[in-house]
Structure 1
Amino acid sequence: MRHFRQHGGSVPATPEFVAEYLASFAGVLAVATLQHRLIAIHRAHTDLGLESPTMNRMVRLTFLGIKRTFTVKQRRVKALVKDDLLELMVHIDKSKPMRRARDSAVILCGFAAALRRSEIVALRVEDIIAYPNGIELQIRRSKTDQEGAGRAVFIPFARGARCPVKALRHWLALSGITEGPLFRQISRHDQIVGYKALVPKSVALIIKAAVRTMSGDEAAKQVAGHSLRAGFCTEAAEAGVPTFLIAGQTGHKNGSTSLSRYIRPASQRKIPTLL
């Protein structure tokens, strides 16, 4: 609402003004951003018991026109599934001890918990709860939880050598970190630098560096921080994990459009041949 008010908006607002506001920022702000602005304007009115101008036909048609004109196809990064991770770990094992421990924990836990890169770097030691069969991570805030209600994500022990829980424990033991940000910067001398957490972009750089070592520059361009979360959804769907369980891990609403992007292709690949 701050942006809306800064550009002459007020509550109550007329449909004509809201439509003009949208049109003036079409092509300047992303379509998704304009949609969030509309939601905020709608709530600002309904919270006061006022009729929402966003429901007006003029406003709806204006936004629909903007959406048709300026929407660009979302870039789909490569999903890193289990086999990809196992191969990545072989190359990460060639790194120096501290960096190897951190990067292994970032990638394995990021995948197993289906975390966004912002959620990975926001983790603190205090957010880890140990159980006999694994660990629980407290996600304090996420992209779709701006109010900070939080959610808990469980990571069980894995049977194989690449266990996320063991990788995280090894990183904590080697780094000596006992409180505060869980993942921190490491210097070229393989020493932890300061007490600040990694920034979200660091997760993408860790993944890209490992993929570049494994498969080259072109392959590295196809992955990002989101590749771990996408990989979990893809792997879980192909393994037949129920959608509601996948949604519980990722924090999606069951049946959400974004989750279905991973579920549907995996389901389609299971269609038997009729020939």
Structure 2
Amino acid sequence: MNEAVERYLQAGTRANTRRSYQQAIEHFEVSWGGFLPATSDAIVRYLVEHAGTLAANTLKLRLAALAQWHVAQGFPDPTKSPLVRQVLKGIRTLHPKPEKQAEPLQLRELEQCVAWLERIGEAARVAGDQPRVLRCWRDRALLLIGFWRAFRSDELCRLRVEHIQARAGEGMQLFLPWSKSDRDNQGQSFSAPALARLCPVQAYLDWIEVAEMTDGAVFPGIDRWGHLSKQALHPHSVIPLLRAVLHGAGLPAVLYSSHSLRRGFATWATCNGWDIKALMSYVGWRDAKSALRYVESVGAFPGQLHPWTPGFEAEFRPGLPNLTTPPGG
């Protein structure tokens, strides 16, 4: 295959999807000992043998990978067999498993984390510990932008200084060339307002000022000497970073993941009167099913929530202008 064609084919499939599919194929061939191309009977045996250990959604992903392999190689797709579909349906019925979801980071926990980072960062500044100052100010900006924009960890790691416009006391525009919800890779611009407390705009401005950044990844790695990496943090590093901050702030870090920021915002917005349409528009969900998974979790523990938090409801509300307008739009 022509190298240029191969390059564009690779670009047309997201890296995470390619990795997941490759792992699924390896599991079928190497771990289980299956043969490719496969028959529908082999696919059924594979599903049955893993029905009690793998979630139905995981098996569904494995089927998608196997289907993609067969189509790409020009073979008939054995996963489309009625028998395969019926067996998968039966597995869902006999082996129901609750979907694992991250604990939402509530506003009070966010405030506790930010207060701890500010306290440690200020102490480090007085002590002349520049590497710690940089980490505290970077992590504060990451938490606040991640929460108020409900970004995924990979979206946070793809933010670049040259794609952000921020004005103290007004707001910020953050442009992402692509995201999971941007299937056509047209790029999306997201807005966030300045707030009286826990402000993502001021946290970002403080961070790029202390780091003396004018371009590059917004959230780079930082070595022990305080040197900023030319590379952004890896999305997988966001979970240990978040848990380290939670632990330092005296919170049960093990309950949370990087997705807790996204779920935390959805929880806060729903408690503050945002309807599904406004939440979908702001976060970027394309179907109500994705949003409803977050909204349904809000009512589970109502005593833990912060409805109508003073100081935020007047500043941050649904219907803000230009929430998803691309540059020049």
Alignment TM-score, normalising by the size of structure 2: 0.66
Q: Could you tell me how far 1:115 is from its partner in structure 2?
A: 0.8
Task: Work out whether residues 238 and 267 of structure 1, in 8 Å CA contact, stay in contact via their aligned partners in 2.
Answer: no
Correspondences of 1:97-246 after superposition (within 5 Å)? 97-130=133-166, 133-143=170-180, 148-158=185-195, 160-189=196-225, 191-216=226-251, 219-246=252-279
Q: What per-residue deviation string (whole Å, max 9, x for no partner) do you get for residues 109-139 of structure 1? A: 0001101112111212233244794222223
Q: Distance in 2 between matches of 1:102 and 1:80?
A: 19
Q: Distance in 1 between matches of 2:91 and 2:246?
A: 38
Q: Distance in 1 between matches of 2:104 and 2:187?
A: 25
Instruction: Give 3-state SS (helix, strand or coil) of 1:215's partner.
Output: coil
Task: Work out whether residues 146 and 261 of structure 2, in 8 Å CA contact, stay in contact via their aligned partners in 1.
Answer: yes
Task: Work out whether residues 153 and 238 of structure 2, in 8 Å CA contact, stay in contact via their aligned partners in 1.
Answer: yes
Gaps (5+ residues) in structure 2? 1-20, 122-132, 304-329
Q: Which residue, out of 57, 62, 84, partners 1:32?
A: 57
**What is the letter of the counterpart of residue 243 of structure 2?**
K
Q: Distance in 2 between matches of 1:27 and 1:244?
A: 37
> CA 1:89–1:237 in 2, change beyond 3 Å: closer, same or farther?
same
Q: Distance in 2 between matches of 1:145 and 1:41?
A: 25
> CA 1:45–1:150 in 2, change beyond 3 Å: closer, same or farther?
farther
Q: Could you tell me how far 1:238 is from its partner in structure 2?
A: 0.4
> CA 1:140–1:69 in 2, change beyond 3 Å: closer, same or farther?
farther
Gaps (5+ residues) in structure 1? 271-275
Q: Distance in 2 between matches of 1:196 and 1:172?
A: 15
Q: Could you tell me how far 1:42 is from its partner in structure 2?
A: 6.2
Task: Work out whether residues 182 and 188 of structure 2, in 8 Å CA contact, stay in contact via their aligned partners in 1.
Answer: no
Partner of 1:273: none
Q: Which residue, out of 295, 307, 310, partners 1:263?
A: 295
Aligned pair count reads 263
Task: Work out whether residues 114 and 228 of structure 1, in 8 Å CA contact, stay in contact via their aligned partners in 2.
Answer: yes
> CA 1:42–1:244 in 2, change beyond 3 Å: closer, same or farther?
farther
RMSD between aligned residues: 3.5
